[in-house]
Amino acid sequence: MRCSFMHTEEGVDVDMQRGMSRRNFFKLGGAAALGAAGTAALTGCSPQQASDGVDAAEATQSQNGWSWETAPEPIDDSAIVETVEKDFIVVGAGLAGVSTACSIAENGGEVVVIEKNATYSWRGAHYGSINNRRWREQGVEVDPTDVTRDWIAQCNSRCNERLVWTFLNRSGEALDWLSDKVEAHGGVVDLLGCCYQNPTYKNITDPLFILKVRFFHQTRRAAPTNEEIGNFEMAIYSLYNDAVDAGAEFSWNAKAAQLVKEDNRVTAVIAETEEGYKKFVGRKGVIMCTGDISGNDEMCEAYSPLMLRCEQTQYVPVGANMGEGQQMGMWIGAKMEETPFSPMIHPQGYLQLSQWFLSVNTLGNRFMNEDTWGQGKSLGVLTTPGNADHAWCIFDSEWQNQIPETLDIGGGMFWVGPDHLYGQEYSPGFNQGQFDTGVENGMVKQGDTFEELADAIAADEPSFDKEVFLAEVERYNELCRAGKDTDFGKREQLLYEIKNPPYYAAKYGPCRMVCPGDMLINTNSQVLGEDDKPIEGLYAVGNCSGGLYAVDYPLVVLGDSHGRCVTFGYLLGRQLMGVE
């Protein structure tokens, strides 16, 4: 057996690495495949605090480069305690992996999924697509050309347009496939109506093409417990059960360690289990569905350093999304997309209160046009000079009356709340709940005068300049009275003077969500090598695959990260089984 593991030269200057494009850094090292120093402990982070993973500075100082720069030695056949052979091996039982396995099995394929945890993993209940059947039944359709244009612009014109078109043209069909499963298992599919209406960064149309799964009581089959299936889990629960019913097999507590490449073809993946190393041979292919890099501080520093500026994170499950799949791909020559990877950072790290209201940074300065998309608001907070990772939203006692007046021109997930359904009247419950929580935990400050409010903020912000803040409020109110924001260009319909005491300041900031990107693929989900040709036998689906996004995470179609996992998993199963 001839296993190929590519190595880099020693002595590469770390500062030079970080200043170069990722592709050129690999070429400098003499090979495109970089590796981890074995399967060393890269731990995760809790949803309440920053990652507990490898400290990036420590890792790079302790070694001559990133920790994965040198590939581990191949695992010898003598260390293998068992070999399992199937037509297809799927690595990872997240949404992408379970969708792919379900599609393969339903179309007659033989597949086993290996997963390092004890059950499948999931997060979030929003699933993005366009022109699916449920929206068409409501008389709502959009032109993919319009969506694609905005998608490309939000990705800085650096995404793979063929992948974007594939997603937009086929996502409706794929999400119909998922929705039918959810309903067959007793779940409910709802249409969300939280669309941001600014023409500059507009979500595709009102309402959004997002599928939300409501709460449903059921015992989880993947790891039988008495836990209930919540709205976040119902989609993958349905996919998992249908996959098993169609013949898919799942191997839990099996952590992928290395890919095996023979004669320029990936033939197997070796996994660590309690019994020892097991080799899972994919006679027709190995499919990587290992998720993004958001749980690995060092990889975030290398490929998306903006992620590390977020002190808050909702990275789950702890110990997953460590970038192992990307590292294994690099070791055998997979081509990675250019940096920076696109960080998904939503403004929900503290309170989800910001809307279009006046925002000031931790120094007291107004710093951006507050009337922007969620990703843009997060970026503004992180990049304003001298700021911490959050800002303060300033409003008066009329704030709840003002929100419904703006829905026709504003709205959105971070305006009306993430569960606002299509056709519903605006309800203040979500925003009021955020406000009440902030009062209780000190993230909402109050003052009967602007001076009192400034003092309350300054008590938490050592760099806060009270006089600067007072001048900013005075200037903002002046612009509101004039009806034109000549400082930042906020639309005049959103210029509400802050004049009705008491006055409030709500703390908000970006949350570290996921960092999709990584191994480049073609529209058949084949992983590409450095020569831009497919690596035989190797595929990637979901957030470990690159090209669909670039630089920034687009919010043209909310929930598209979940939507892309389902769409490309659905398509790959059909492609591999010759259905299309």
Angle between helices 161-184 and 144-154 (to 10 degrees): 110
Question: Which residue shows structure tokens 């169609």?
Answer: 246
The reported pLDDT for the residue numbered 9 is 27
- Yes or no: say if 527 and 336 are a contact pair by the CB < 8 Å rule: no
pLDDT tens, position by position, 200-242: 766 654 333 334 444 333 334 444 444 667 778 889 999 999 9
Q: How confident is the model at residue 258 (pLDDT cuts 50, 70, 90)?
A: very high
- Yes or no: say if 345 and 380 are a contact pair by the CB < 8 Å rule: no
The reported pLDDT for the residue numbered 281 is 98
- Yes or no: say if 85 and 283 are a contact pair by the CB < 8 Å rule: yes
- Indicate if the pLDDT at residue 399 is higher than 50: yes
Q: How far apart are CA 68 and CA 366, in angstroms?
A: 41
**What are the structural domains, with CATH classification, of the chain?**
86-266+516-576 (3.50.50.60), 348-509 (3.90.700.10)
The reported pLDDT for the residue numbered 61 is 39
- Yes or no: say if 334 and 538 are a contact pair by the CB < 8 Å rule: yes
- Yes or no: say if 114 and 288 are a contact pair by the CB < 8 Å rule: no
Give me the mean pLDDT over the 311-330 stretch. 89
- Side by side, the strands of the sheet bearing 210-213 are 126-128, 210-213, 189-191
